[in-house]
Amino acid sequence: MRSGGPYSFDRQLQVLCAGNRTGRRGVSLFESHKGELSVPSGLVALLDDISVIAKAASASIDDVAVAAGRAGTKTAGVVIDDAAVTPSYVTGLSPARELPIIWKITKGSLKNKLLFLLPAALLLSEFLPQAITYLLILGGSFLCYEGAEKVMEKLGFAKHGETLEDEITDPVAFENERVGGAIRTDFILSAEIMAIALAEVADETLVMRGAVLALVAVAVTVAVYGAVGLIVKLDDIGLHLTQKASAAAQAFGRFLLRFVPKLLVALSIIGTVAMLWVGGHIVVDSLHKLGWDGLYGPIHDAEHAVHELAGAAGGVLGWLTATTLSAIFGLILGTIIAFVLHKVLGVGADKAH
């Protein structure tokens, strides 16, 4: 069969797909006309439409993936903070309960993002976009309060609620309290993640915004809690390796057993600092968006000054300057909120010890 002839592959494909509706001379799909095969235009047009739809769907999927990647990159700082905060909620508890607790928090995080924050973000972005900034201020203030309370407890101030230093009389209730606290904190961090992602795709259609936010929500949750699950089980991995026959495996296992406790302590500190930094940054940046630069201006000026003076290291040192100042503001704001809640309004006074 020669290429390009009347019965070439392309021509046969056209005929097979389109055919002839008459079915004359015993041919059900097509008929011969002077050695050529006629193709009804209706089916060709239908196939062309299907091809266009398929290409459009493929392009839309690509667009969602690209937009989600762009939005996800912007949320990297908050994602790291989320991963640093979460291990503290299982530190000191029974190893057998670590992964079940993380799974509970993971489900709560997905529920936060997909059932509450995603619909709320889409509705607000469509009908009341200005309200998002005020909600972020409330969320940032809550993170500042949580971080400041942890700092005050370490400094010897009254503790509110049970801690690992106390005798735990009801492990189930204590675990539920831990999980609830983790999910509440995750809600605020997730709100910040969704808000940052939403800002990146604010000019897209409603459907595109929804698809991007859903993809970011799932990807971030899997990444954060997958990493947390690995971190909290590193000591178990180390113990398992020490029982291997290989000397190298045993040595690495012993290293993990020495390293993991230090890592968890470091993550606990990083998590507390992260609450103060992210919370302070959210409030400062949100107030700036509302037109008040009493905090944003000085912090931005200090960051710029350090950036100019530090030369090659200016980017990193400038960022550290802004981060430190945001964390200090977060600590001050959180302390004020804690004082008002516990001393003025008496919230949690019955649990103070």
Q: What pLDDT shows up at residue 88?
A: 73
Q: Quote the tokens at residue 86.
A: 């979460």
The alpha carbon dihedral of 108, 332, 280, 121 has a sign of positive
Cα–Cα dist 47/35, whole Å: 25
pLDDT for residue 271: 80
Q: What is the C-alpha separation between 242 and 232, in angstroms, rounded?
A: 17
Can you read off the two tokens belonging to residue 214? 């859903």
**Along the 353 residues of the chain, how does pLDDT read in single tens digits?**
444 454 444 454 454 444 444 444 444 444 544 555 555 566 666 666 666 555 555 555 666 666 666 655 555 556 666 677 777 777 667 788 889 999 999 999 999 999 999 999 999 888 988 888 888 888 889 889 988 988 988 887 766 555 555 556 677 888 888 899 889 888 888 887 888 788 778 778 888 889 989 998 999 899 889 988 998 899 899 999 999 999 999 999 999 999 988 887 887 788 888 889 888 998 999 999 999 999 999 999 999 999 999 888 888 999 999 999 999 999 999 999 999 998 888 776 555 55
Query: Would you state the pLDDT for residue 222?
Result: 92
Q: C-alpha distances in angstroms, 115 versus 46, 118, 257?
A: 39, 6, 39
For residue 328, what are the CA distances in angstroms to 209, 277, 298, 334, 339? 34, 8, 13, 10, 17
pLDDT of residue 330: 95
Alpha carbon distance 280, 296 (integer Å): 11
CB 306 within 8 A of CB 321: yes
pLDDT score for 21 = 45
- Residue 333's pLDDT is 96
Specify the pLDDT at position 257: 92
